[in-house]
Amino acid sequence: MDINTDYDVIIVGSGMGGMSAGAMLAKDGYKVLILEKAHAPGGCSSSYFRKGFVFESGATTLIGFNENQPLWKLEQETGIQIPREEITPSMSVWLDGEQITRYKDREQWIQECIRVFGNETGQRTFWEEAFNVSDLVWKVSLRNPFFPPQKISEWGSLAINNNPLDVWVLKYALKSVREVMQEYGIDAPKFRRFVNEQLMITAQSKADDTPFLFGAAGLTYTNYSNFYVPGGLLEMVNTIRAFIQKRGGALHTKEGVEMITKDKGQFTVHTRNKRKESFAYRAPIVISNIPVWNMKEVTSGEMRSYFQKESAEYESAWGAITLGIATNDTYPEDLPLHHQIHLKEGKTVPFTDSDSVFVSMSKKGDTLRAKAGKRTLNISTHADPERWYSLNGQYETAKQQVQDFIVETLQEKLPGFSDAQIEVIHTATPITWENWVYRKKGRVGGIPQTMARSLLKWTPSETPFKGLYLCGDTTYPGQGIPGVTLSGINVYYRVVNS
Ligand SMILES: Cc1cc2nc3c(=O)[nH]c(=O)nc-3n(C[C@H](O)[C@H](O)[C@H](O)COP(=O)(O)OP(=O)(O)OC[C@H]3O[C@@H](n4cnc5c(N)ncnc54)[C@H](O)[C@@H]3O)c2cc1C
């Protein structure tokens, strides 16, 4: 078999982690090849076409373009302009029949919290501290591409790059969000329910188990600029793809990586396309954007043992149930695009332990996603993949029950939905997700940012195998489009400094 040696860097997977690493390297003249097993690029932040409508694959909310945030950095460095429109307010939360508006403006948001949860002093001081921590976390994260440090020199650069006055924030790596709420006297049941569900969509864990260091950034993400990409997030990915291709790079879809081997300082990447044809590529640098759990399936020997060990501690994470629904547009003019809908206290979505559902709508008039007078909705909720993999004969019934439950919930709680005619509806479970983006057991959203996961315990982007790097939501700094974009930027710095 011929081995293609045309590229300097091979990237496995075209999620936002891989796309960001690829763009940063392409701007420096590296010839980049991205290999993507699925039909379309983008993984969990992409879009798909179904019966005349465009739905988002996973992510729907988009932040990271404020100064010191990862997408700001990506655009600054490469000159890429991701097509987007700012949305405001960022989100509505529906809790016990009440609409809580997540205003971007910080003072307006504090006032909203005081209105809903009372305790003026407690709420104000809690949120002010959360903003301080979050602003600093973004700034410090961007300043430290070699985190977590692997070598003595990287410990040294930690000391040089950082202001000793910022060290105060580290205490929050050891304090849970709940403990901070208790300190401020605002740990009341209603506020805790609100915080828990907001954390679940950002840190993948609840107030008791999320360090305030990450939790503060998660809780305040609606207070940075939030964006909508007309046509869907695939447009963002395609913009980056065009940038890479213009600089001599390529992105092959429907071509999965089956094995990565190393000899004589070079990697050989073996692939197979949907027609079962095999290919091989050779390059000195390989960047993997697939979850660390999946790496042991595409490596052997020492490399496989490393990934087996690295992922063993984190062999569990959330999966998702997602629905795509298209309807006629019966929604109030001023309805925000994103909604977190709490279920009645004590109630959960069937076959999950989830207390809420998240709904994102296409923008009114976005005719790239839905014809005039129509809208698309993406709905998601957390689910334990193990449970869905053990349903066996009950699987189809369970899937239908979840779908019916979510439709009923929207009819009851999402303004305008009960008047809408459903034109298209489909549901994906962790099993669908595994067949779609090939993530082991359909685990999505990265590894929960729990208290057990100390700052230094994150899987680093550098591996012990010179030239092999990792990015994406199972490596530092974790999930979400901004998180994985930062992981890709960090890999770039490691490559150019190696
Ligand atoms: C339902 C849901 C809602 C979310 N909501 C938000 C949100 O609102 N905002 C936000 O910021 N984040 C959100 N997230 C999280 C965010 O989408 C992800 O953390 C992020 O997109 C993951 O990016 P990644 O770079 O790790 O790779 P992925 O997106 O996982 O991409 C990896 C790619 O690798 C490909 N691949 C896998 N195996 C192979 C192989 N062997 N060979 C070649 N290619 C392979 C896959 O097909 C995939 O395209 C959400 C996630 C989900 C699932």
* pLDDT lower than 70: segments of the chain: none
**For residue 429, how far is its CA from the centre of ligand 1 (angstroms)?**
15
Which residues neighbour 136 within 8 Å (Cβ) at sequence distance 6 or greater? 166, 169
SS3 73: helix
Angle at 439 between CA 279 and CA 478, to 5 degrees: 115
Cα separation, 395 vs 428, in Å, equals 12
Q: Which of 45, 84, 226, 378 to mutate to test the pocket of ligand 1 (most atoms within 8 A of CB)?
A: 45
Among 33, 44, 377, say which to mutate for ligand 1: greatest number of ligand atoms within 8 Å of CB: 44
Q: How much distance in Å is there from the Cα of 372 to the middle of ligand 1?
A: 30
What's the confidence (pLDDT) of residue 365? Answer: 95
Residue that is written with structure tokens 């790596």 in the block: 173
Tell me, in angstroms, the distance from the centre of ligand 1 to residue 479's CA: 9
Q: Which stretches of 144-291 are DSSP H helices?
A: 152-161, 177-183, 189-200, 212-219, 234-246
In angstroms, what is the span from residue 253 Cα to ligand 1's centroid?
A: 15
Q: What residue ranges line ligand 1, CB within 6 angstroms?
A: 12-18, 35-38, 43-45, 58-61, 256-257, 289-290, 294, 298, 320, 322, 380, 437-439, 444-446, 472-473, 479-481, 484
Residue nearest to atom 38 of ligand 1 (CA): 438
11 membership: H or E segment, kind and range: strand 9-12
Which residue's CA is the closest to the ligand 1 atom numbered 41? Answer: 257
The predicted pLDDT at position 26 comes to 98
Residue nearest to atom 23 of ligand 1 (CA): 15
Q: Express each pLDDT in 399-437 by its tens digit.
A: 999 999 999 999 999 999 999 999 999 999 999 999 999
pLDDT at 377: 98
Report the amino acid identity of residue 69.
Answer: Q
Q: What is the pLDDT of residue 428?
A: 98
**What's the CA-to-centroid distance between 43 and ligand 1, angstroms?**
4
CATH pick for 9-48+230-314+448-496 out of 3.40.50.10070, 3.40.50.150, 3.50.50.60, 3.40.50.720: 3.50.50.60
Nearest CA to ligand 1 atom 35: 13
Ligand 1 center to residue 57 CA distance, Å? 9
- The per-residue pLDDT for 479 is 87
According to CATH, where is 3.50.50.60 located in the chain? 9-48+230-314+448-496
**What pLDDT is recorded for position 302?**
96
Query: Tens digits of per-residue pLDDT, 46-75?
Result: 999 999 999 999 999 999 999 999 999 999
Would you say 352 and 402 are in contact if contact means Cβ atoms under 8 Å apart? yes
Q: Tokens 């950082």 map to which residue? A: 162
C-alpha of residue 49 to centroid of ligand 1, in Å: 17
Predicted pLDDT at 392: 86
